[in-house]
Amino acid sequence: MTKDMSVEVVLDDGHHPVEGRRSVRLRWLADDPLAVRVDVVGAPGGPWVVLRDVLRAGLLRPTGIGQVRVGPVGTHVTLTLRSAGRLLVTRILAERLRAFLDQTETVVAAGSESCDRSLDAALDSLLHRS
């Protein structure tokens, strides 16, 4: 299941921040139900892999570690993504993100994921970048 969203983006290389609108692609696969892949079209450093539960929690409160942080800001959810010294901040309408997550949960409900399949898919993704 893939969902494209047009979002506000700030890309900061530490020297010259660039603001504008870009498309963000959220991709979720039933074979890897714990993960959502986030790709900001035209931005370096992606895609990023975010736990579905982290995105869900980010609708309500700031959460995340490492390269990905998620949190609510008014009617939006802010995804802060880091890669190779670059900072990318995206703002997605919370209702659109919630609708995407709800769709994924109609296929594989939260809490019923198979860890073996998810772990195998995550390892395959890391090792083969498929």
Domains of the chain: 2-128 (2.30.31.20)
User: How far does the chain reach from its first CA to its final CA, in angstroms?
Assistant: 16
Q: What is the pLDDT of residue 62?
A: 95
CB-count burial class (<10 Å; 0-12, 13-18, 19+) for 5: middle
Torsion of CA 115, 68, 46, 91, to 10 degrees: 120
**Which residues on adjacent β-strands are paired with residue 86?**
83
Of residues 2 and 61, the one with the higher pLDDT is 61
Helices (H) and strands (E) in the chain, counts: 3, 7
**Which residues on adjacent β-strands are paired with residue 35?**
51
Q: What is the pLDDT of residue 6?
A: 46
pLDDT in tens, 86-112: 788 888 889 889 988 998 888 777 766
pLDDT in tens, 6-16: 445 555 545 45
Helix (H, G, I), strand (E, B) or coil at 125: helix
Q: What is the pLDDT of residue 74?
A: 93
Q: What is the pLDDT of residue 69?
A: 92
Looking at the whole model, is its pTM more than 0.75?
Answer: no
